[in-house]
């Protein structure tokens, strides 16, 4: 009895690639809008909360840029997929531990959503392929 080995194609189908890239572009655009809104939150923040609100606001820009990189070149940015997924899963777990707070409830929804979308896009775009070793150019 022989079993046929199933192989995963090295490149995603064009449709799935566009879906995954589109999801990352959507995450980027929404996060950029939240970044802009962060300045309004900073303007209303007390002195005691200014550093936290600033840190959060600038972090939105970083995540917006990372999702934009993933949308633009999903198989050429090693470690970005994994860092984003790690952060969003960790933030989701933390949020679920404080569901009785307003921030915990909001973050459990938003961070879980973007974590699931990013993991889905990682799979359909074959994000792990960004770790492949590129062959150096051979001089002639």
Q: What is the pLDDT along the chain (140 residues), one digit of tens a residue?
A: 555 555 555 678 899 999 999 999 999 999 999 999 999 999 999 999 999 999 999 999 999 999 999 999 999 998 999 999 999 999 999 999 999 998 899 999 999 999 999 999 999 999 999 888 555 666 66
Could you identify the residue written with the tokens 């940015």?
Answer: 77
Nearest C-alpha neighbor of 28 from the set 62, 78, 73, 75: 62
20, 74 Cβ separation under 8 angstroms: yes
63, 51 Cβ separation under 8 angstroms: no
List the chain domain ranges: 14-127
What is this structure's pTM?
0.83
């Amino acid at each position: 009895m022989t079993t046929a080995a199933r192989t995963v194609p090295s490149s995603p189908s064009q449709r799935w690639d566009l879906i995954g890239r589109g999801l990352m572009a959507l995450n980027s655009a929404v996060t950029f809008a939240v970044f802009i809104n962060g300045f309004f939150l900073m303007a209303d923040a007390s002195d005691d909360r200014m550093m936290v609100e600033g840190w959060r606001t600038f972090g939105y820009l970083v995540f917006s840029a990372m999702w934009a990189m993933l949308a633009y070149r999903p198989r050429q940015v090693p470690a970005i997929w994994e860092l984003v997924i790690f952060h969003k899963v960790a933030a989701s777990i933390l949020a679920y531990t404080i569901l009785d707070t307003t921030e915990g409830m909001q973050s459990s929804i938003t961070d879980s959503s973007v974590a699931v979308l990013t993991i889905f896009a990682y799979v359909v775009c074959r994000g792990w392929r960004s770790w492949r070793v590129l062959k150096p150019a051979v001089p002639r």
